[in-house]
Each structure stands twice: as structure tokens, then as C-alpha cells.
Amino acid sequence: MESYLVASTPMNFLIKLDKDEDDQSVDITKYRRIIGSLLYLTLCRLDIIFAVGVYGRFQDNPKQSHYVASKRILKYLKGTQDVELWYSKDYSFNITSYSDADYARCKVDPKSTSETCQFLGDQLMSWYSKKQTSVATSTSKVEYLAVGSCCAQLL
């Protein structure tokens, strides 16, 4: 990995991963080692949690496209070794929260994703991104579930 170029993000959001049954299979042990190591690393690198969770869904039958995508996280980590969150001492106590959802974007199943982030003053305090547990039939229901997740996160 030392000779590889760095990546600016842990995932390429233009590429939508699916089961990809036609692609070439890869060594399942090697793929699981990468995902397992990255899962361990998420304890201190919260910025890769979502990407590791997405790639971890394909551990039962990984394909070449999943393997290449998981290596992107390693390239991202190589370029962000010195990145850290920093909170100043003089910040305001105004809490601002944002929520969003994408309606049935996942190719593997028709579930939507809820995303929220909370700011204390102008500094990020927490964020949340998770696939919704139920299948919504409209975009307004998806947004309603996302707002519910946002309120739960605030509490």
C-alpha cells in the first residue's frame, strides 16, 4: 500500500455497490481480514464507520469490486494520518441539528438511509448514518423517519 496514491474520501459515492454476481470472486479470508481490521480501527477513526459498514455487508461473498472499494479506505487512511477533531475552549452552547434521508438508494435492498449531524456552536458534536429498519413507501415517510432519528440522537 505504500506505493499507492492517497484517496480524499473513504468511499467513491459515484459507485453504487451491489451483490455483483457476475464479477470475479476474491479470497474471502483476505477480504474479511481487511474488514475486521477496519472495524477495529473505527473505535478511534469515526470517519470511516459508514464505509466499513457498507463494505462489511459483502463479507459472505466478496467480489473484485468490493475488494477494490475496501482498499480505498486504506488509501484514505494513508492520506489522513494526521487528521483529528479539534474543539476550542470558547464555543457557544447553541445546539443545531440537521437530518436528511435518501429514498431507496441501496441496490441490495429497497431500504432508505437516515443521516443526521449535530453541532454545538459551530463545531460538530455527533453524527449518525444508518440504513432504516423499515421500508418506506414515499419520500415524506423516509424524511419523517430521519427526523425521528435526529430527535433521538439529540436526546
pLDDT tens series, the chain, 155 aa: 677 788 888 888 777 777 777 788 888 899 999 999 998 888 778 788 888 888 888 888 888 888 888 888 999 998 888 877 666 676 667 888 888 877 666 666 777 777 888 887 777 777 777 777 777 677 777 777 778 877 887 77
Which phi and psi (to 5°) does residue 89 adopt? -75, -30
Q: Please report the pLDDT score of residue 76 as a whole number.
A: 92
How far apart are the C-alpha atoms of 39 and 63, rounded to whole Å?
19
Task: Tell me the C-alpha to C-alpha distance, in Å, between residue 122 and each of 8, 26, 128.
Answer: 23, 44, 17
Q: What angle in degrees, to the nearest 10, is found between the helix axes of 28-41 and 64-79?
A: 30
